[in-house]
Chain A
Amino acid sequence: EVQLVESGGGLVQPGGSLRLSCAASGFTFSSYWMHWVRQAPGKGLVWVSRINSDGSSTSYADSVKGRFTISRDNAKNTLYLQMNSLRAEDTAVYYCARDRSMMVFDYWGQGTLVTVSS
């Protein structure tokens, strides 16, 4: 059974940093592109970032470019999102999602809440 389990969310002050993790199981993690998608409270889904299967290629939404870094450790079957210079508008539930092919998200984690507030 495919499972994606996010962790690392919490309360952080503006300007602070946080690293999210997404532990994958039930499939060959190293064969799949992975994404982070976020959802602010009461709002819609917003794509944040993606990484290819071996970690050599990444892409970011303009709103997080230069502040967030996506990475992966295929030996540990884990996806990461390093978030720096956090802003109030980054407050959201962050989901990791598996890309079955061409930006189609076939499995999602349960999400982890990040709250940026003083």
Chain B
Amino acid sequence: QSALTQPASVSGSPGQSITISCTGTSSDVGSYNLVSWYQQHPGKAPKLMIYEVSKRPSGVSNRFSGSKSGNTASLTISGLQAEDEADYYCCSYAGSSTFDVVFGGGTKLTVL
């Protein structure tokens, strides 16, 4: 059960855009349009930001967008704001033959 691969950290200045990648395999990210992204501030529970690759839950800013190509999914945050500084985790359905869900290792976003 290998975790999805994310960069450990990314950074950007206020107003800029950043993209966080999430690389899996043909057994998870590549096989299903069931990638989701979660934001977690220190000491807080995770919050759903994107689901089914590119859909935004009600209440999530349209500055957050998601996409996928092959075995790699991406989260893009445009117009960076200070409150976007947090950890971000991708997650993919991985089928029910071995395990259902796999998370990425997480990416620390720093807003400079």
A62 to B87, CA, bound (A): 25
Chain A interface, DSSP helix/strand/loop, else mixed = strand
A111 with B48: CB separation less than 8 A: no
A110 to B36, CA, bound (A): 20
Chain A residue at minimal CB-CB distance from B93: A103
- Per-position 1/0 for B63-105, Cβ under 8 A of A: 0000000000000000000000001010101001011111111
A62 to B94, CA, bound (A): 13
Checking A44, A63, A104, A109 against B103 with a beta-carbon cut-off of 8 angstroms, the contacting residue is: A44
A100 to B48, CA, bound (A): 11
Give A residues with C-beta under 8 Å from B.
35, 37, 44-47, 50, 59-63, 95, 100, 102-106, 108-111
B57 at the binding interface (Cβ < 8 Å): yes
Chain B residue at minimal CB-CB distance from A62: B1
B111 at the binding interface (Cβ < 8 Å): no
Q: Could you list some 12 contacts between A and B, CB below 8 A? A: A44-B87, A45-B40, A45-B106, A47-B100, A47-B102, A47-B103, A102-B52, A103-B91, A103-B100, A104-B52, A105-B38, A106-B51
CB contacts (< 8 Å) of A104 on chain B: these are: 34, 36, 48, 51-52
B57 with A106: CB separation less than 8 A: yes
A19 to B84, CA, bound (A): 35
Q: How far is the CB of B94 from chain A (nearest CB, A)?
A: 9
Question: Which of A46, A47, A109 has its CB near the most chain B CB atoms (within 10 A)?
Answer: A47
Chain B residue at minimal CB-CB distance from A65: B99
B15 at the binding interface (Cβ < 8 Å): no
